[in-house]
């Protein structure tokens, strides 16, 4: 019996090792596999720009900055230097993971009392009061200063080129370019709708004002944005719009290096950034899911989806109740990530019936604004360093406001605050709101994976689904990204959205259990777009996948091959 048990254990171990990089039925793309670097971004021009930096001798940090800068040019409707940035960076030589929180704070004078004194009892989702100090440029500087090897003049050159000379719009670019609700916002039409119309597929788009802003940052560094001529232009514009922003609000802002938080999931360790982000909800959700045998249920079966949807509700309820800016309110992170709490929460899940209300019960006050417009990219270099980076305007173009001559829109991240005093996420001066954007990382033994999936409140639940695809169902990262997903954007009720590629019989069974299922098109924007890179340390091999829900690609670095001498 002992011999049989040992053989079975070996078979299971070998099976899991083989499954880790297995394709799935219907997988549309293959992973990229190389011993050199890879950049996986949601737009191919950004991926190519990052790869160019790798080929110029840069590392994962350098390539991530270059790719992100290009993303702000080619997809201004989701990201740009008017937004915020978070990153996880794995230093392969040190074997250590670092976290960067570069989410901006509110103007010091912007408080609940200030707004109420002016008769404002709710936050306008595209009003000037939603514009916190943008953190992106400061985040680039922090990442480059600590881990990068190349100067800004080289890293921002591809983005400056595309902004100055233009680029033809790709398919998803053209589909999501215009936002009609922003047409009256100052500077929006002049910047993003040349000749008053949105560019179509294949049309050329230029943004020379943005090229000049990026060129100024490249030449003068972060101070150009936070303590220079760009600062003065931004503050004067924002105050003209009724904002309370000051030069000091920009000058004093600094990003923060933080320790990632983590949990274990069936032998893997999964990392997220700590509050003020929603990453803790992904870890809480995984802790609850771990109490069920998802692999036995079958991928995207009614029982597996039942568990994950209900786990999402429970994890998000706790996240909402406790998470805000930890500099203002203590966060019970350790308690929220405890396995004991997960066991108690999992006991509330019925496999045959959906919960339409979950405790804590006061979560209907959740944000009135639901931004789902973000970019995520991941980079791995030849040495195994990994950058997992996410950047966003929050809702689309954010406010859509563009200061004269700058070429980028300001985000509306401050729409995430609440105007009820005394809550973890209550508005206050120099405070960071509860954030939706979260990069992620997971590892087991010699395998390291940098991954992320964008999309507002979709993100933590999408992370948990990705992890389950890899761990419970043995998928490679490309297959795991391609699989049909569900998303529940609300915090109460039995509503849930899922792509129609989830079998109709499964959707019917979930409806029978009480879920109100809204069917989405295949590869829907609503369930987010993701990328992932993998390092197999034992073999020094890199892998990557890119979500087909975007215009993106995972592109490998080319070797610096020299021509051989011909023999005489």
What is d(CA 270, CA 437) in angstroms, rounded to the nearest whole number? 16
DSSP state of 353: B
Residues 343, 344, 347, 353: is their CA dihedral positive or negative? negative
In order, the DSSP letters of 413-477 are GGGG-B-STTSTTB--TT-PPPB----EEEEETTEEEEEEE-STTHHHHHHHHHHHHHHTT-B-H
Straight-line distance from the first to the last Cα atom of the chain, in angstroms, rounded to the nearest whole number: 68
**What is d(CA 365, CA 363) in angstroms, rounded to the nearest whole number?**
5
Contact between 149 and 449 (Cβ < 8 Å)? no
Give the span between the Cα atoms of 323 and 326, in whole angstroms: 8
C-beta pairs of 297-301 under 8 Å, 24+ apart in sequence: 299/469, 299/472, 299/473, 299/483, 300/483, 300/484, 300/502, 300/503, 300/506, 301/506
Joined together, the tokens standing for residue 266 give 């069936």
* CA–CA gap between residue 423 and residue 131 (Å, rounded): 20
Angle, in degrees to the nearest 10, between helices 302-322 and 279-289: 140
Chain mean position to CA 231: 27
R_g of the chain, CA atoms, integer Å: 23
C-alpha–C-alpha distance, residues 4 and 10, integer Å: 10
CB 106 within 8 A of CB 428: yes
Least Cα distance to 415 among 403, 407, 427, 405 occurs for 427
Of 233, 337, 240, 359, residue with least CA distance to 286: 337
Query: For the chain, how long is the longest CA-to-CA vector?
Result: 88
d(CA 320, CA 276): 11
Neighbour count for residue 361 (Cβ, 10 Å): 10
Q: Which residues are catalytic?
A: 374
360: preceding bond cis by omega (within 30 degrees): yes
């Amino acid at each position: 019996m002992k011999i049989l048990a040992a053989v079975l254990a070996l078979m299971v171990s070998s099976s899991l090792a083989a499954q880790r990089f297995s394709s799935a039925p219907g997988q549309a793309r293959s992973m990229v596999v190389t011993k050199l670097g890879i950049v996986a971004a949601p737009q191919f021009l950004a991926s190519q720009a990052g790869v160019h930096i790798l080929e110029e001798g840069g590392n994962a940090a350098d390539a991530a900055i270059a790719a992100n800068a290009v993303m702000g040019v080619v997809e201004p409707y989701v990201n740009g230097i008017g937004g915020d940035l978070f990153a996880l960076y794995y230093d392969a030589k040190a074997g250590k993971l670092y976290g960067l929180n570069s989410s901006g704070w509110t103007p010091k004078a912007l408080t609940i009392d200030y707004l109420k004194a002016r008769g404002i009892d709710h936050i306008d989702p595209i009003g000037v009061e939603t514009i916190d100090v943008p953190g992106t440029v400061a985040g680039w500087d922090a990442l480059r200063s600590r881990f990068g090897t190349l100067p800004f003049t080289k890293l921002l050159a591809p983005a400056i080129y595309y902004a100055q000379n233009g680029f033809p719009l790709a398919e998803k670019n053209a589909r999501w370019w215009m936002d009609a609700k922003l047409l009256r916002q100052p500077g929006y039409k002049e910047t993003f709708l040349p000749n008053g119309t949105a560019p179509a597929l294949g049309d050329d788009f230029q943004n020379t004002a943005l090229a000049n802003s990026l060129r100024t940052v490249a030449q003068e560094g972060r101070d150009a944005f936070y303590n220079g001529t760009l600062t003065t232009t931004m503050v004067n514009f924002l105050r003209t719009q009724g904002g309370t922003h000051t030069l000091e609000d920009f000058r004093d802002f600094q990003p923060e290096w933080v320790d990632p938080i983590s949990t274990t999931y069936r032998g893997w360790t999964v990392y997220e950034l700590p509050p003020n982000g929603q990453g803790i909800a992904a870890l809480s959700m995984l802790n609850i899911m771990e109490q069920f045998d998802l692999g036995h249920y079958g991928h995207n079966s009614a029982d597996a989806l039942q568990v994950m949807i209900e786990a999402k509700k429970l994890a998000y309820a706790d996240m909402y109740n406790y998470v805000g800016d930890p500099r203002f309110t203590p966060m019970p992170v350790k308690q929220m990530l405890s396995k004991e709490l997960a066991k108690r929460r999992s006991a509330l899940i019925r496999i045959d019936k959906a919960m339409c209300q979950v405790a804590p019960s006061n979560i209907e006050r959740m944000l009135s604004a639901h931004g789902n417009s973000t970019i995520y990219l991941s980079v791995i270099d030849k040495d195994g360093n990994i950058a997992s980076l996410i950047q966003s305007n929050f809702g689309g173009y954010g406010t859509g406001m563009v200061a004269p001559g700058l070429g980028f829109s300001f985000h509306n991240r401050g729409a995430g605050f609440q105007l009820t005093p005394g809550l973890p996420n209550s508005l206050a001066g120099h405070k960071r709101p509860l954030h939706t954007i979260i990069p992620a990382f997971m590892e087991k033994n010699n395998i390291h994976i940098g991954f992320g999936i964008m999309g507002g409140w979709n993100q933590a639940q999408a992370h948990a689904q990705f992890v389950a695809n890899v761990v419970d169902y043995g998928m490679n990262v490309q297959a795991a990204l391609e699989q049909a997903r569900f998303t529940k954007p609300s915090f109460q009720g039995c509503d849930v959205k899922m792509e129609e590629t989830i079998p109709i019989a499964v959707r019917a069974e979930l409806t029978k259990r009480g879920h109100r299922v809204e069917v989405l098109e295949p590869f829907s924007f609503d369930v987010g777009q993701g990328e992932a890179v993998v390092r197999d340390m034992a073999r020094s091999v890199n892998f990557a996948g890119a979500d087909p829900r975007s215009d993106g690609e995972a592109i490998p670095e080319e070797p610096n091959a020299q021509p051989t001498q011909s023999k005489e």
